[in-house]
């Protein structure tokens, strides 16, 4: 009864929630979100700079998240580069002096707080300009005279001024109301000169941080949070009044106060903030001053959107032109298209028709390009335009493992009987790709790379993904022997179409999407190895053991080739640094990233070839001797052999996990990674038990069929800032945001998969002469694009 209810419930869900309906819903949601964010920017006011300075929250201990944007953590060399031509002046009391020290420690982490109290302090570094702290504990005439002197002395005028004062006024005058009124008068007088300084630089007024009244000394007991709040209200009122009257450019730093409200209890004296909170304030200032100059990719606060380059403009014109042609053909009534295909309610996939589909008409490719143009517009809005918000990642065990448990429960819920029970059958490999891709997605969005054991296990998943890709391509060539140009071009188009479009639309190099260059490279290697003389296929090899020796000789040659490149980094770099090959493998002017990625999993494809040869040769032999059985519900081997192999496989997994958990650094682990693999152990565990081989998860299998699109699309429409952060569509509710953005992201990935398949039929003709002509035209077009790309490189810091 329970099984029947389970089956009916699953079918009921799939009947009402098809992929087509999901895409329509996602399109409506995107439109509504676009309207919401545009309206909130226009009517709500404020930009990412104001968000950075005004509000935020702690993601975890000492990790500050500004509202709606990402805060870059500046290193010494970056700070020196930004401030090389700037003079920064801190003006105020002891709390401003603390902020000054935290600020200069970003420039020089070894700097000590050794200045005298209640005196001016100077800091000058060889590669940066002068930074001063000037002791002015009250907002009075003395501070005003200092500001006046700067407005008259052009040579001594600071580029950035950070001011703040109130606690001494409260302390010296016991928090009297007359002192508060005088504070307003003085600040009103200061505002005029602050405006003059802001005309040629940046001016920040720091709102007063709270105090811990319980631990304040007796001579500070009059400094209460109520008093500080009155002084903050006075500062906001005066400076906002100035802002309303004359468009003031004096900025209020309130976010550090918000951060201090959560950490002031850690203060030693109740007045001065703990170092971690001061560092938050210093990093906020550093982002506000430097982001627009250095443009770090993970520092979206205070950055203006760069204008689209020539290639991006041309791509927009191309998609608009395709849409125009599609509309003209539609109006003319050219509706010849492929026959509609009914959806499969179980898998949410389209069933293949029993008869051949009607050939694509002239309207179909333009319709596909029109859909692709809309999707690329969404990509651009998400990660290149200032429309949607972004936030930084923060890893906790719960953000990684709880979603992991959730998706595996869904995977079990959608378990079904497999149509075939062969070793590594199609349903099983799709399932394998699917759950691995989902784990990798959760790994990326949770920032789990910070946790080395998880990092190393995901490295195994990436290697397994490469194994499956290589295994599939090798199997095709090994079994069918189809080395034709049509097959090769179909595979290369399927692998690279989306990435090549993104390279143009998102202004990113090919190597940025590292996995695609990796699988493309190994596909070419596999093809070259098997296609070169003598071509040895399974049928030929099974007739004579000598042919197996021939295959092994080829693989030995490939192994020597891999080892030579792996241990000759200079030669490797010299080969891949030659133009135009270098344009495919360079990232930020260097091929080091390509070297790192290639070296990490260099033996995986060789291993997959050996596995395929072993399985295809030994399956026949072992089945004849009744040692191996692939029947439904039957164990792969005899009971003794099965139990032994399962035991060894489980021990291998446990041993690997213990080793991965004991690694101290990623570098240390990565050095050993190419020589350690538990892929075979997983294959045995998944296939030896008959019941395990007889079922599969249609949920994971569905995701496995679009795994490549999921991997690539996550860069810009699920993550943000080129994977450094998280896209925020629903601000203020992280859980709902993840659900909505994930829903849209999956729908987009599935649609791109269909578009790619549609266009592959048009772009890659089966006629050899037509294909050669198109390859020549595409080669010429690629050369033109590469030449144009020389003048439109990604922005620095990306």
- The catalytic residue positions are 94, 269, 272
Structure tokens at 587: 């990232």
Classify 156 as helix, strand or coil.
coil
Helix axes 679-687, 452-480, angle to 10 degrees: 70
CA angle 100, 121, 111 (to 5 degrees): 60
Task: Dihedral sign for Cα 228, 234, 237, 238, please.
Answer: negative
CA dihedral of 498, 502, 504, 508, whole degrees rounded to 10: -130
Helix axes 452-480, 604-624, angle to 10 degrees: 60
Closest CA to 92 of 180, 148, 165: 165
H or E element, residue 43:
helix 19-44
**Burial profile 376-414: b = 16 or more Cβ within 10 angstroms, e = fewer:** bbbbbbbbbeeebbbbbbebeeebbeebbeebbeebeeb
Backbone angle region of 513, left / alpha / beta, with phi > 0 → left and psi within -120 to 50 → alpha: beta
Are 206 and 253 in contact by the 8 Å Cβ rule? The answer is yes
- 420 vs 270: CA distance, rounded Å: 71
- 271 vs 210: CA distance, rounded Å: 8
Are 153 and 147 in contact by the 8 Å Cβ rule? The answer is no
Are 348 and 747 in contact by the 8 Å Cβ rule? The answer is no
| Residue listed under structure tokens 């859980």 | 735
- What are the C-alpha distances in Å from 236 to residues 208, 240, 244, 251, 510? 11, 6, 12, 10, 49
Are 65 and 57 in contact by the 8 Å Cβ rule? The answer is yes
Classify 790 as helix, strand or coil.
coil
DSSP character string of 288-310: HHHHHHH--TT--TT-PPPPP-H
Are 697 and 745 in contact by the 8 Å Cβ rule? The answer is no
Are 287 and 35 in contact by the 8 Å Cβ rule? The answer is no
- 218 vs 270: CA distance, rounded Å: 11
**Residue 292 CB neighbours (<10 A):** 15
Cis peptide before 723 (omega within 30 of 0): no
Which strands, in side-by-side order, build the sheet including 130-135?
121-124, 130-135, 88-92, 160-164, 202-206, 250-253
DSSP character string of 471-505: HHHHHHHHHH----HHHHHHHHHHHHHHHHHHHHH
H or E element, residue 252:
strand 250-253
Backbone angles phi, psi at 203, to 5 degrees: -125, 130
């Amino acid at each position: 009864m329970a099984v029947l209810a389970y089956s009916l419930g699953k079918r009921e869900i799939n009947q009402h929630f098809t992929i087509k309906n999901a895409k329509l819903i996602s399109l409506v949601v995107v439109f509504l979100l676009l309207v919401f964010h545009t309206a909130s920017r226009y009517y709500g006011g404020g930009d990412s700079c104001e968000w950075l300075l005004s509000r935020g929250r702690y993601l975890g201990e000492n990790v500050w998240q500004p509202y709606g944007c990402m805060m870059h953590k500046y290193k010494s060399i970056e700070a020196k580069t930004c401030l090389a031509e700037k003079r920064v002046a801190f003006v105020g009391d002891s709390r401003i002096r603390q902020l000054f020290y935290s600020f200069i420690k970003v420039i020089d982490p070894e700097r000590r707080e050794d200045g005298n109290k209640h005196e001016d302090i100077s800091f000058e570094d060889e590669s940066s300009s002068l930074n001063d702290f000037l002791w002015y504990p009250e907002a009075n005439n003395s501070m005003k005279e200092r500001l006046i002197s700067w407005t008259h002395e052009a040579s001594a005028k600071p580029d950035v001024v950070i001011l703040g004062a109130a606690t001494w006024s409260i302390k010296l005058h016991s928090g009297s109301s007359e002192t508060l009124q005088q504070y307003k008068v003085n600040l009103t007088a200061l505002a005029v000169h602050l405006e003059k300084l802001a005309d040629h630089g940046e001016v920040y007024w720091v709102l007063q941080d709270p105090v811990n009244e319980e631990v304040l000394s007796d001579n500070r007991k009059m400094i209460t949070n109520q008093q500080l709040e009155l002084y903050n209200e006075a500062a906001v009122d005066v400076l906002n009044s100035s802002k309303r009257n004359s468009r003031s450019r004096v900025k209020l730093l309130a976010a550090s106060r918000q951060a201090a409200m959560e950490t002031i209890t850690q203060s030693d004296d109740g007045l001065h903030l703990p170092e971690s909170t001061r560092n938050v304030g210093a990093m906020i200032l550093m982002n506000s001053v430097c982001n627009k100059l250095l443009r770090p990719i993970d520092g979206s606060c205070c950055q203006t959107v760069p204008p689209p380059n020539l290639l991006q403009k041309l791509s927009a014109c191309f998609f608009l032109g395709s849409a125009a042609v599609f509309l003209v053909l539609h109006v003319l009534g050219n509706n010849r298209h492929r026959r509609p295909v009914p959806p499969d309610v179980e898998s949410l996939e389209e069933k293949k028709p029993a008869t051949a589909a009607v050939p694509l008409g002239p309207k179909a490719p333009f319709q596909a390009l029109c859909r692709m143009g809309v999707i690329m517009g969404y990509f651009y809005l998400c990660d290149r335009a200032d429309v949607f918000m972004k936030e930084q990642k923060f890893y906790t065990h719960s953000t990684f493992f709880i979603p992991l448990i959730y998706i595996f429960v869904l995977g079990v819920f959608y378990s079904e009987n497999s149509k075939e029970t062969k070793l590594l059958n199609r349903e099983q490999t799709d399932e394998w790709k699917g759950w691995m891709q989902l784990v990798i997605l959760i790994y990326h969005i949770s920032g789990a790379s910070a946790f080395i054991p998880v990092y190393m296990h995901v490295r195994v998943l990436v290697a397994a993904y490469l194994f499956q890709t290589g295994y599939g391509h090798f199997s095709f060539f090994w079994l069918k022997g189809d080395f034709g140009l049509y097959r090769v071009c179909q595979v290369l188009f399927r692998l690279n179409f989306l990435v090549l479009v993104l390279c143009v639309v998102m202004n990113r190099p090919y190597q940025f999407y590292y996995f695609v260059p990796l699988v493309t490279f190994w596909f070419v290697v596999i093809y070259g190895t098997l296609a070169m003389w003598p071509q040895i296929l399974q049928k030929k090899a099974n007739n004579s053991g000598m042919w197996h020796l021939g295959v092994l000789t080829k693989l030995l040659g490939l192994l020597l080739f891999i080892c030579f490149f792996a241990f000759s980094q200079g030669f490797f770099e010299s080969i891949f640094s030659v133009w135009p090959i270098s344009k495919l493998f360079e990232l930020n002017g260097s091929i080091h990233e390509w070297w790192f990625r290639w070296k990490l999993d260099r033996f995986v494809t060789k291993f997959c070839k050996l596995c395929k040869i072993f399985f295809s040769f030994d399956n026949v032999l072992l089945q004849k001797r009744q040692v191996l059985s692939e029947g439904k519900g039957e164990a792969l081997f005899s009971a003794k052999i099965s139990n032994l192999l399962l035991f060894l496989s489980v021990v291998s997994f446990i041993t690997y996990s213990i080793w991965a958990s004991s690694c101290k650094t990623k570098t240390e682990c990565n050095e050993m990674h190419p020589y350690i693999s538990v892929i075979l152990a997983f294959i045995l565990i998944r296939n030896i038990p008959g019941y395990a081989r007889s079922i599969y998860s249609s949920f994971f299998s569905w995701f496995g069929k679009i795994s490549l699109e999921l991997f690539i699309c996550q860069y810009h429409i699920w993550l943000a800032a080129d994977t450094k952060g998280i896209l925020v569509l629903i601000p203020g509710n992280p859980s709902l945001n993840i659900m909505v953005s994930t829903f849209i992201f999956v729908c987009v990935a599935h649609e791109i998969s269909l578009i790619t398949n549609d266009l592959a039929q048009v772009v890659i003709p089966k006629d050899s002469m037509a294909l050669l002509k198109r390859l020549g035209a595409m080669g010429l077009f690629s050369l033109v694009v590469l030449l144009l790309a020389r003048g439109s490189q990604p922005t620095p810091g990306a």
